[in-house]
Amino acid sequence: MKIELMDRQGNGNANSRDTLFLLGGAALLVVGAGMVLSHPAVRQYVEKSPLGNVFSHIIPDVERYFRLRSM
C-alpha cells in the first residue's frame, strides 16, 4: 500500500486526476439534485418551504437572462 501511494505522488498526473474526480463528483451532485427536484412531489415540498420563495424570485430572472442571451 505504501509503495502505491509513493508511486502516485511521484507521478505528475496525481493532481490532475484528483481534480478530475472532484469535478466529476460535483457534476454528479448537480445532476442528481436536478433529477430529485424535477419530481412533482419534491417540487411542491420545496415551494412550500422558505427556500421556495427565494427560488420563485430567482427563476424568472434566470429565464429572462437566457432569453436575452439567445438573441
Give residue-wise pLDDT tens across range 13-23. Answer: 667 888 899 99
User: Are 55 and 33 in the same domain?
Assistant: no
User: Are 25 and 10 in the same domain?
Assistant: yes
- Burial letters 5-33, b for 16+ CB under 10 A, else e: eeeeeeeeeeeeeeeeeeeeeeeeeeeee
**pLDDT at position 30 over 60:** yes
User: Are 33 and 49 in the same domain?
Assistant: no
What's the whole-model pTM score?
A: 0.48
User: Are 30 and 63 in the same domain?
Assistant: no
Mean pLDDT of 10-33: 83
User: Are 47 and 34 in the same domain?
Assistant: no
Q: Domain limits at 27?
A: 1-38
CA 7/CA 40 separation, integer angstroms: 49
User: Are 32 and 43 in the same domain?
Assistant: no
User: Are 34 and 45 in the same domain?
Assistant: no
**pLDDT at position 65 over 90:** no
pLDDT of residue 27: 93
Share of the chain above pLDDT 90, in %: 13
The grid coordinates of residue 11 equal: 507521478
What is the domain count for the chain?
Answer: 2
